Structure 1
Amino acid sequence: MNKSKPSLVQRSAAFFAVIFGMLTIGAGAAHAGDRREEAIDLVRDASETVNYFAKDSAFSAMWSLADDAKAIVIIPEKLRAGFIIGGAAGDAVMLSRNEDGSWSQPTFFAIGSLSFGLQIGGEASEVVLLVMTDEGKDSLLTSSVKLGGDITLAAGPIGAGAKAQTTDVLAFSRSRGLYGGLSLEGALLKSRRKWNKAYYNADVSAAEIVIKGEVYNPRSAQLQTAVWHLANRNAPATMAPVILSPETDTGQQGPGEQTRLGAPLAGSNTNDNVEYEDDAIWGEPINREESDK
């Protein structure tokens, strides 16, 4: 009995699955012991991404919106590539605004999606997501959340002011490379609890980090500085909040020592060696938008 040949889409999907599986296994074996250093590098890269967005006037619409943001998600590098079938993946950190106006320690995420249709080229993007509602923030604190599905999503900066009151998340990005359309609709954000454990030396959830404040790492200060200045652009640096480290310290700073958020650092950087912990994030479709011609 003759069997029908698999379609181009099916063959392409299988090809991507095999290649991605090989890359994931190899990366896991080579970098399992370096998860803490990767988390530290991601926090550093995230602070540089925020500093770039805070200085580039092309993102001026973002500045006023950051004043009202409940939380912020930073993706220092989100990679996309494909022909007919494409994929996108990256690592992310999230910080939540505290009641006193300061910002929490970061929690870690992986972001990924899979898209079908005509698409040619490759792209590397730096992305900042402003979480404008408590509902959006609460959803992000679950184990995984689909952008544009579980929470609403709109692109910025064009028209961002009009959408800020009705949209859970506003997305801002800068890209390098050529791609036939860019959309985060359908992308899945998944909590990276192993990275949380490596960074804080404690098995903690996203909520325990950003809401309860149960852990502390002094290496987060630069990122907290950058986010505070983005959300308080008109405030002098001397008004930056003082961070009081809890007794559950990492050992790099004495318990009870104070760390004042300083001025943001200039420059931007991306990490060319992004690793992905959760294969399942590639299983979600992404709704693509055609680029303006």
Structure 2
Amino acid sequence: MEGIYAIDSPSKELTMKTTSILLIALIFACSQAMAEQADAPLSWQAGPTDVTLSDQATLRLPEGYRFLGPEETQAVLKSMGNFPSGSELGLIAPAKDEDWFVVVRYVDAGYVKDDDAANWNADELFASIKEGTEDDNKRREAQGIPPLVLIGWEEKPHYDAQAHKVVWAISSQGSQSAGVNYNTLALGRHGYMSMNMVGDLRDLPQLKPHVQTLLTNLNFTEGKRYADFNSATDKVAAVGLAALIAGAAFKSGILAKLWALLIPLIIAGKKLLIFLVLVVGGLLAKWLKKKPAPVPAATPPSP
């Protein structure tokens, strides 16, 4: 026997060939199915328009932005390898060619108290997030997965007490490039709305204005606002604002959920992983560049 690639018998050789053929067929079938779904027209709403987010809030979508509804958003996320929780209300993408997207979610967590916002320490908050990431890295390294290294705050958490909205951005270094998760929370009477933007760290100066515009244009409807809270009847969330930030950092973002899909693929084989990552990356660009399906012209009545 010479090396690990030696074949002991014709039956083993036949088995390996059969397995290889089946694996190639499986990969081809998966990529074909994903490509067919990517080619299907998506029902984008183009700005300027008002988008209703469940029965909780309204988003004034400016010109230059597009919005995808909840069902199609969840279908797209599934095809990208994510596991939607059902809280997704939509996906926002630029109308022009830019490499970012935002997932909008509503979490019915209860009324989130913001009294700890005045006292939080950004360095301690980052240390808490980093500690949680290091614990995750131990599990990654045990399975041969490169660790996720946090770089730091790109924008420290800051809370607008009048609007009841918080913004923060944190960057990380992956094995190939640096990325950034821009996170925003808008607090309401019964829960919170989150808009998580995923993009490349190199594009950070271009991402910031988009985040501010979208957050400013997001408002809870009357009766659902933070100020409408009734302590006698409404549920209070189990965690405060600081804990919400620490728990949301990366763990609730798309990139973190993508890791859950990649772990078994890495274990199965790096070549398969690389292939699927390339497929998913190409489909994402394809989805973001899709135009709304054209509306057929009306047929004039016969004379």
What's the TM-score, normalizing by structure 1?
0.27
Q: Which has the higher helix share?
A: 2
What's the TM-score, normalizing by structure 2?
0.26
- Report the structure number with the largest CA radius of gyration: 2
